Amino acid sequence: MRKVRIAVLVSGGGTNLQTLIDAAEKGDINGEIAAVISDNENAYALERARKHGIKAIYINRKQLAERLIIELQRLDIELVVLAGFLSILDRELVKAYEGRIINIHPSLIPSFCGKGFYGERVHKAALEYGVKVSGATVHFVDEGTDSGPIIFQEAVPVYFEDTSETLAARVLQVEHRLLPAAVGLFCEGRLRIEGRKVKILKEEV
């Protein structure tokens, strides 16, 4: 089966990206990471890409709306994965890639998500609220923020003595499993969006 051409969009350290690189190299996903694109030229995630011979592209935040879709089309990208990407995608791009953009978010959506909820802020809000579970969500991207159809979720316990660092580390372990699993199913054609829900098919139709 031909490998799906994937672009991973990043802004930070890229540990989620690394799990996708490893999975693709091991053949655990039927996909090829054709490019890693960042809105932060110092993102270590770009270095991770370079170490694996993957095209690493920096696009200034101000030029994203104009240049990102051009790069994706030039690279013949079939799946866009947001892995710690902090900029909001242009509506035109979301429309053009409807059903082909996957995001990982470090909470159980619809809790602690949406505008302003990213990275450590998500875990701080969960701790301040006093929740007993948090977790990670992998979902398709729609025109909202963290609001598209959910592919996978998995909960983790929250302990009284947790800090945002200890909670983030526990959630990140779940992220590192859920994201490659979701991307793998997409690359096998086994994810079907039905309204707000995502059906996981036994095999590709």
3-state secondary structure 23-57: HHHHCCCCEEEEEEEECCCCCHHHHHHHHCCCEEE
**Please, what is the minimum distance in Å from the beta carbon of residue 123 to ligand GRF?**
8
For residues 203 and 77, give the distance between their C-alpha atoms in angstroms, rounded to a whole number. Answer: 23
Burial of residue 135, with CB atoms counted within 10 A of its CB: 0-12 exposed, 13-18 middle, 19 or more buried: buried
Q: Work out whether 12 is an interface residue with ligand GRF (CB under 6 A).
A: yes
Catalytic residue among 52, 105, 139, 176: 105
**Please, what is the minimum distance in Å from the beta carbon of residue 125 to ligand GRF?**
13
Contact (Cβ atoms closer than 8 angstroms) between residue 164 and residue 120: yes
Phi-psi map region of 71: left, alpha, beta (phi>0 left; psi -120 to 50 alpha):
alpha
Q: Work out whether 175 is an interface residue with ligand GRF (CB under 6 A).
A: yes
Q: Which of 3, 5, 13, 28 binds ligand GRF (CB under 6 A)?
A: 13
Residue 139: active-site member: no
**Please, what is the minimum distance in Å from the beta carbon of residue 18 to ligand GRF?**
7
Q: Work out whether 172 is an interface residue with ligand GRF (CB under 6 A).
A: yes
Q: State how far the alpha carbon of 155 is from the alpha carbons of 14, 22, 41, 84, 167, in Å.
A: 22, 24, 33, 19, 11
**Please, what is the minimum distance in Å from the beta carbon of residue 189 to ligand GRF?**
25
* Residue closer to ligand GRF (CB basis): 51 or 74: 51
Question: Among 9-17, 23-31, 155-163, 193-201, which window interacts with ligand GRF (CB under 6 A)?
Answer: 9-17
Q: Work out whether 16 is an interface residue with ligand GRF (CB under 6 A).
A: yes
Near ligand GRF in 97-156, by CB under 6 A? 104-106, 119
The dihedral through the CA atoms of 3, 81, 70, 97 has a sign that is positive
**Please, what is the minimum distance in Å from the beta carbon of residue 204 to ligand GRF?**
28
Closest CA to 40 of 65, 71, 9: 9
Q: Which residues bind ligand GRF (CB under 6 A)?
A: 12-17, 45, 83-84, 104-106, 119, 172, 175
What are the residue numbers of the active site?
A: 105
